[in-house]
Structure 1
Amino acid sequence: MMSDQPAGETQTLVEAALRVLNTADPLEKAHLGDLFASQWLEGSAAIVRPYDPSVHLTVPDRPARLSNVQLVAPGHMPKLGKAGSLQSRQAIVHSLAHTESWAIDLSWDIIARFGKQEAMPKDFFTDFVKVAQDEGRHFTLLAARLEELGSYYGSLPVHDGLWDSAMATSNHLLARLAVEHCVHERTRCASHNSLTIPEWG
């Protein structure tokens, strides 16, 4: 597990978001995200402000992810079944956990990618910090449930259609908000389906 933020260290919220995005293990992402979210929401001196307007920070096109998770094309995903067997229940929970792992990244990415760029107010940052914290907790619970079912995150193939859709809106905040609140919510219940949205030029 990645160590917590050193005592006395300060950073902006965007810097904290980038630390989460650059962490590969989703449990570590969730842990760091929960820590940073709590610091921001509690007004801790560890996170001094949303961003430094004089500093340019590069947001990765793709967050760090575990290399041992098998990726397949959305159309090649195996059927999840209807939870009538242990294997089907494992597949459904694994699919939901994968969706939540991307939800963590989506929430921190919108903070890092658009917060400074669009000069968003503090409430924007606070809203998405709360979302990010919730998504991290959801992933942690689902990962624990997978272990109870005798499996683990990464045991089954996944697809990254959700992130591909998000990248199609990487230059448009309003379009990204539609992905965050509409496409993502849809995929909570159908994360195995292929999602296609138009390019935003």
Structure 2
Amino acid sequence: MTHCLRTLALQALTHSDPSQKCSRVEALWQGLITGQYSIVADKHMTPSSAIPGRPPQPALVPPGQVKRRAMHTAEGRAALIHALAHIEFNAINLALDAVWRFAGMPDDYYRDWLQVAKEEAYHFTLLRAHLQSLGSDYGAFDGHNSLWEMVEKTQSDVLARMALVPRTLEARGLDASPPLKQKLVQAGDHAAASILDIILRDEIGHVAIGNRWYHWVCKQRALDPLSTFEQLCRQFQAPKLKPPFNMEARKQAGFSEAELAYLNGEYL
């Protein structure tokens, strides 16, 4: 008997324990590649519990209320690693949400986003282990919910989701990674810097997946990608993208020359 991948992704999304969520994602991936799960059930599905499932801690506060700590202290480094782990935990949830929520997409779409969920779970596991090595753990510091708020805003349209989550918010991670790595190296945390190398490598692929499906939907709907992106940013009040941009990573992630020029204000 085969099980529906999208139904199981929804179940994993509602799970609140981070370790068990990661284990379920890995099991889903293995089940998909070995043919245990099918990608069907384009019928409407209703969550049986609140989404996303998350542990009681960290407490969620507005972004401006997340305390910043000096990087030269152990607590400061732990706070930074915690912030990164929180982003990766939310990224697991957003990838699972992309799998279950949007019906009628090609099979490759669901495979792509389950792969993203698997890699985000790996990133979270690496960061959490490093956080524990620093004498802390996930939940020890406050976090914010900006990434998931955009996931909720774009739940009615896969085009908006692809435009404003992977291609906008996640792509900011490509820009932020090099200076963050430099700070960690300067602070002597080479283990964390190595984890950032892994995350950047994989995130280029995740943003590329967002680009792939954004352009696919634009083509299906006969929409111009640049003007549509601009319109969606206004409609959903997406955060304005500001330099510096990691142009090399963005090129590797599939942004066109016209899209890169747009970032620099050269497209009207």
Q: TM-score, normalised by structure 1?
A: 0.81
TM-superposed CA distance for 1:183, in Å, is 0.5
| Partners of 1:17 and 1:109 within 8 A in 2 | yes
| Partners of 1:21 and 1:64 within 8 A in 2 | yes
Residue number in structure 1 paired with 2:86 = 98
Higher helix share: 2
Distance 2:85 2:21 in 1: 13
TM-superposed CA distance for 1:166, in Å, is 1.4
Deviation readout 1:139-191 (Å, 9 max, x if unpaired): 0111111000100000000011110111111112121112123202315748x
Distance 1:104 1:15 in 2: 16
TM-superposed CA distance for 1:198, in Å, is 4.8
Per the alignment, in what secondary structure is the counterpart of residue 3 of structure 2?
coil
Residue number in structure 2 paired with 1:67 = 56
Match of 1:121 among 62, 83, 106: 106
1:183 aligns with 2:175: no
Residue number in structure 1 paired with 2:8 = 16
RMSD, aligned CA: 2.1
| Partners of 1:169 and 1:199 within 8 A in 2 | no
| Partners of 2:14 and 2:51 within 8 A in 1 | no
- Return structure 1 stretches of 4+ with deviation > 6 angstroms: none
1:85 aligns with 2:77: no
Question: How many residues are paired up?
Answer: 179
Larger Rg: 2
Distance 2:155 2:84 in 1: 24
Q: Which amino acid aligns with 1:34?
A: E
List gaps (5 residues or longer) in structure 2. 178-232, 238-268
Distance 2:136 2:7 in 1: 34
TM-superposed CA distance for 1:200, in Å, is 4.1
Q: TM-score, normalised by structure 2?
A: 0.62
TM-superposed CA distance for 1:64, in Å, is 1.2
Greater length-normalized contact order (CA 8 Å, ≥ 6 residues apart): 1
List gaps (5 residues or longer) in structure 1. 1-8, 191-196
Deviation readout 1:39-76 (Å, 9 max, x if unpaired): 11232x2x1x21224x4311477311111321111111
Q: Which amino acid aligns with 2:158?
A: L
